[in-house]
Structure 1
């Protein structure tokens, strides 16, 4: 396959950005005729039109729309390649990474010093928020990337897998002394603590156990944060499904007990998620590599 020249890609990007061939030609210092020839060459290589042109307007075809983010990424990488050859030190980069409060405080904050020593040119800022807020901010470019185990369907996002996230269904020994919980029907004696109704952690137990309907809890209490759930579980105020990294030490010390030990809870993965059209994909891959080297305790 004959690859397009960077000059032709630059012409395509300029035309896509301005939607005016004369303006785009001036932006790349070409005559209109020479610019038109560049666009023709790249369309011939693709084998289909990238623009719909009339006497009144220019607009991208669906193929042109699909090609634009990758063209921009190629141009950005070419610039980075040239810049790295011209400069002995990497250019400084600032990234804002979004994460949940508990994960950020227990895992990411302790890693900031190591990440800075490994990548001194990268300044990593943190933003704490709920999963839906993080993905919304990623879409509107308020943050550059997020670490999350939340699921999404947007084709505009790309991800690097970091660590597996496991869960445990837990209660305090003093609660279990008052009320047994060895079978699903015992749920009728207990309060279920969870994040909120839209993203319940209990789904990691309910799905493999035959659905939420199998458990009829006496009541639910939504508390918004995993840390709040853990505090209330330790106090004997209810039962909860919590990330294993949050409760592993309490399980080892006996402060918490596993419930329904034969149940296999679903698992998920933490991922570093970023916008697919972000030209810093290589940087995110290296950041993910550093994060994978730091186990979640």
Structure 2
């Protein structure tokens, strides 16, 4: 159903309101918009007439947001950012997208994506893939600058498309030298071995041992490192046994820098998922890249199962 024209505020009014709210000053908003102070004030007044309630409270020397104005400002900023992102996407589609920004966990990018990414770049020489490390609370909001997001665990929501990549199968790994030196043969040996703990995943060993019905041994003297990369590095250097996702230590296993110990003992955790915002679902470059990642993940899973 078409909305009456009078119910749709002008872009000029929205921009004037956002700038005034940002600075809490008509004069500074006027400088920002290259308008006169009177013009900015007039545009905000017209917007308030459309909305039907005051958005700004004015005194002789001050301007501040009303309660309604604060709520309205949040929505206006979201809509302006979404409009800007949509316009950018349409413009990029028309002239050909130059880059895709992918945010992903460091270990995923370093160990899974980078060994595969060259093939995609070779097939799409005109498209640049920018990879950044995803913060734990990374989002796909229009102002985030992120086109695709890889994260662990299943996310819900209608504002993005979510494509599962692969589950995380945690396996115990050690250097072949450590394994042989300590005569590691079965899970019953675990109590006399050094377990490398990840400080950011304090319950990982307990969960891994629990699925085999083994209570956690005293880990008071187990070395603690921050993050998967340090845990893998410590294991490669012969400092003990670490837990790592099988899909992310393929290179070390193939090069015999690491060996899987306690074969058959795995702990399946929430896997990696790729999300793209709905607003980019029609972008052929973004959707094509997402499809490629899904195919690579499926092929990798088949390879691991066949190994």
TM-score class normalised by the smaller sequence:
0.5 to 0.7
> C-alpha distance in 1, partners of 2:22/2:295?
40
Q: Which residue of 2 aligns with 1:243?
A: 245
Normalised TM-score (structure 1): 0.61
> C-alpha distance in 1, partners of 2:215/2:113?
34
> C-alpha distance in 1, partners of 2:50/2:214?
55
Q: Which residue of 1 aligns with 2:171?
A: 169
Q: Which residue of 2 aligns with 1:216?
A: 218
Q: Give secondary structure in 2 for the equivalent of 1:163.
A: strand
Q: Give secondary structure in 1 for the equivalent of 2:60.
A: coil
Q: Give secondary structure in 2 for the equivalent of 1:214.
A: coil
Q: Residues 161 and 272 of structure 1 are in contact (CA less than 8 Å); yes or no, is this contact kept in structure 2?
A: yes
Q: Which residue of 2 aligns with 1:63?
A: 71
Q: Which residue of 2 aligns with 1:72?
A: 80
Q: Residue 295 of structure 1 is aligned with which of 294, 297, 300?
A: 297
Q: Residues 204 and 267 of structure 1 are in contact (CA less than 8 Å); yes or no, is this contact kept in structure 2?
A: no
Q: Which residue of 2 aligns with 1:111?
A: 117
Q: Aligned Cα RMSD in Å?
A: 5.0
> C-alpha distance in 1, partners of 2:90/2:207?
52
Q: Could you say if the C-alpha distance between residues 93 and 227 of structure 1 is closer, same or farther in structure 2, counting changes exceeding 3 Å?
A: closer
**Could you give the per-residue CA deviations for residues 65-110 of structure 1, whole angstroms, max 9, x where no partner exists?**
422431322441464377469xx51464585856415632441353
Q: Could you say if the C-alpha distance between residues 21 and 271 of structure 1 is closer, same or farther in structure 2, counting changes exceeding 3 Å?
A: same
* Cα distance, 1:41 vs structure 2: 4.1
* Cα distance, 1:166 vs structure 2: 0.6
**Could you give the per-residue CA deviations for residues 206-237 of structure 1, whole angstroms, max 9, x where no partner exists?**
59659997342474223556455446546765
Q: Which residue of 2 aligns with 1:40?
A: 48
Q: Give secondary structure in 1 for the equivalent of 2:71.
A: helix
Q: Which residue of 1 aligns with 2:187?
A: 182
> C-alpha distance in 2, partners of 1:94/1:294?
18
Q: Could you say if the C-alpha distance between residues 111 and 265 of structure 1 is closer, same or farther in structure 2, counting changes exceeding 3 Å?
A: same
> C-alpha distance in 1, partners of 2:125/2:56?
41
Q: Which residue of 2 aligns with 1:11?
A: 16
Q: Which consecutive residues of structure 1, in runs of 5 or more, have no partner in the other structure?
A: 152-157
**Could you give the per-residue CA deviations for residues 192-211 of structure 1, whole angstroms, max 9, x where no partner exists?**
124x4234582583596599
> C-alpha distance in 2, partners of 1:53/1:119?
56
The alignment covers a number of residue pairs equal to 268
> C-alpha distance in 2, partners of 1:82/1:179?
59
Q: Residue 95 of structure 2 is aligned with which of 89, 92, 95?
A: 89
Q: Residues 102 and 130 of structure 2 are in contact (CA less than 8 Å); yes or no, is this contact kept in structure 1?
A: yes
Q: Give secondary structure in 1 for the equivalent of 2:222.
A: strand
Normalised TM-score (structure 2): 0.60
